[in-house]
Amino acid sequence: MPPEGLCTGKLRLVAGRGPLVELVDRSSEEDMIATFLQAGLGSPRATDRLRELFAERALDEDLVTAPDLTSDTGNRSRSELLGAWFGWPDRGLFEGLPVEDIDCGTE
Protein backbone atom coordinates (compact mmCIF):
# COMPACT_ATOMS: atom_id res chain seq x y z
CA MET A 1 0.00 0.00 0.00
CA PRO A 2 1.19 3.54 -0.60
CA PRO A 3 2.09 5.44 2.56
CA GLU A 4 -0.69 6.88 4.65
CA GLY A 5 -1.37 10.47 3.70
CA LEU A 6 -0.73 10.00 -0.01
CA CYS A 7 -2.94 12.50 -1.76
CA THR A 8 -5.06 11.18 -4.58
CA GLY A 9 -7.63 13.10 -6.49
CA LYS A 10 -9.81 13.24 -9.53
CA LEU A 11 -8.00 15.11 -12.26
CA ARG A 12 -8.92 16.57 -15.60
CA LEU A 13 -6.70 17.53 -18.49
CA VAL A 14 -6.37 21.25 -19.03
CA ALA A 15 -5.71 22.60 -22.52
CA GLY A 16 -3.76 25.78 -23.11
CA ARG A 17 -1.47 27.55 -20.67
CA GLY A 18 -0.89 26.59 -17.09
CA PRO A 19 -0.83 23.14 -15.53
CA LEU A 20 -1.40 20.07 -17.66
CA VAL A 21 -3.85 18.67 -15.14
CA GLU A 22 -6.03 20.25 -12.54
CA LEU A 23 -7.22 18.71 -9.27
CA VAL A 24 -11.01 18.92 -9.41
CA ASP A 25 -11.90 16.80 -6.40
CA ARG A 26 -10.21 14.78 -3.69
CA SER A 27 -10.60 11.02 -3.60
CA SER A 28 -9.42 8.13 -1.51
CA GLU A 29 -7.11 5.34 -2.59
CA GLU A 30 -10.13 3.02 -2.48
CA ASP A 31 -12.04 5.31 -4.84
CA MET A 32 -9.09 5.48 -7.25
CA ILE A 33 -8.80 1.69 -7.36
CA ALA A 34 -12.54 1.21 -7.95
CA THR A 35 -12.55 3.87 -10.68
CA PHE A 36 -9.51 2.30 -12.39
CA LEU A 37 -11.24 -1.10 -12.40
CA GLN A 38 -14.53 0.42 -13.64
CA ALA A 39 -12.64 1.93 -16.57
CA GLY A 40 -11.19 -1.51 -17.29
CA LEU A 41 -14.64 -3.09 -17.46
CA GLY A 42 -15.64 -0.39 -19.93
CA SER A 43 -12.60 -0.90 -22.14
CA PRO A 44 -12.86 -3.27 -25.12
CA ARG A 45 -9.13 -4.01 -24.81
CA ALA A 46 -9.20 -4.83 -21.10
CA THR A 47 -12.61 -6.32 -20.37
CA ASP A 48 -11.79 -9.94 -21.27
CA ARG A 49 -8.66 -10.11 -19.10
CA LEU A 50 -10.35 -8.37 -16.20
CA ARG A 51 -13.33 -10.75 -16.39
CA GLU A 52 -10.90 -13.70 -16.35
CA LEU A 53 -9.44 -12.33 -13.12
CA PHE A 54 -12.93 -12.01 -11.61
CA ALA A 55 -13.67 -15.63 -12.56
CA GLU A 56 -10.35 -16.96 -11.23
CA ARG A 57 -11.11 -15.35 -7.87
CA ALA A 58 -14.86 -16.16 -7.87
CA LEU A 59 -15.63 -12.44 -7.58
CA ASP A 60 -18.80 -10.76 -8.79
CA GLU A 61 -18.48 -7.70 -11.03
CA ASP A 62 -20.68 -5.81 -8.54
CA LEU A 63 -17.48 -5.51 -6.52
CA VAL A 64 -16.46 -2.91 -9.12
CA THR A 65 -19.69 -1.78 -10.75
CA ALA A 66 -21.33 -0.97 -7.38
CA PRO A 67 -18.40 -0.69 -4.97
CA ASP A 68 -18.94 -0.29 -1.23
CA LEU A 69 -15.90 1.80 -0.34
CA THR A 70 -16.60 1.30 3.38
CA SER A 71 -16.11 -2.49 3.13
CA ASP A 72 -12.62 -3.58 4.18
CA THR A 73 -13.12 -6.93 2.46
CA GLY A 74 -14.30 -5.28 -0.76
CA ASN A 75 -11.46 -2.75 -0.73
CA ARG A 76 -8.91 -5.51 -0.16
CA SER A 77 -10.40 -7.60 -2.99
CA ARG A 78 -10.35 -4.64 -5.40
CA SER A 79 -6.75 -3.83 -4.44
CA GLU A 80 -5.71 -7.46 -5.01
CA LEU A 81 -7.57 -7.50 -8.33
CA LEU A 82 -5.77 -4.36 -9.51
CA GLY A 83 -2.51 -5.93 -8.31
CA ALA A 84 -3.09 -9.04 -10.40
CA TRP A 85 -4.17 -7.00 -13.41
CA PHE A 86 -1.65 -4.14 -13.43
CA GLY A 87 0.74 -4.67 -10.51
CA TRP A 88 -0.79 -2.32 -7.93
CA PRO A 89 0.76 -0.80 -5.85
CA ASP A 90 4.40 -1.03 -6.96
CA ARG A 91 4.83 -3.30 -9.98
CA GLY A 92 3.93 -3.22 -13.66
CA LEU A 93 2.09 -0.07 -14.61
CA PHE A 94 2.65 1.38 -11.13
CA GLU A 95 6.40 0.62 -10.91
CA GLY A 96 8.35 3.78 -10.20
CA LEU A 97 5.24 5.75 -9.26
CA PRO A 98 6.29 8.35 -6.68
CA VAL A 99 5.06 7.37 -3.24
CA GLU A 100 6.07 10.40 -1.23
CA ASP A 101 3.31 12.53 0.21
CA ILE A 102 1.97 15.07 -2.24
CA ASP A 103 0.76 18.42 -1.00
CA CYS A 104 -2.69 18.90 -2.50
CA GLY A 105 -3.17 22.21 -0.78
CA THR A 106 -6.08 23.12 1.40
CA GLU A 107 -9.76 23.18 0.60
Ranges of each domain in the chain? 8-94
pLDDT tens, residue by residue, 4-59: 444 455 545 455 555 555 666 667 888 888 988 999 988 888 889 999 999 999 99
Residue 98 identity: P
C-alpha span between 104 and 4 (Å, rounded): 14
Q: How many residues does the chain have?
A: 107
For the segment 66-73, the average pLDDT, to the nearest whole number, is 95
pLDDT at site 47: 87
C-alpha span between 37 and 80 (Å, rounded): 11
pLDDT at site 104: 54
H and E: helices and strands count for the chain: 4, 2
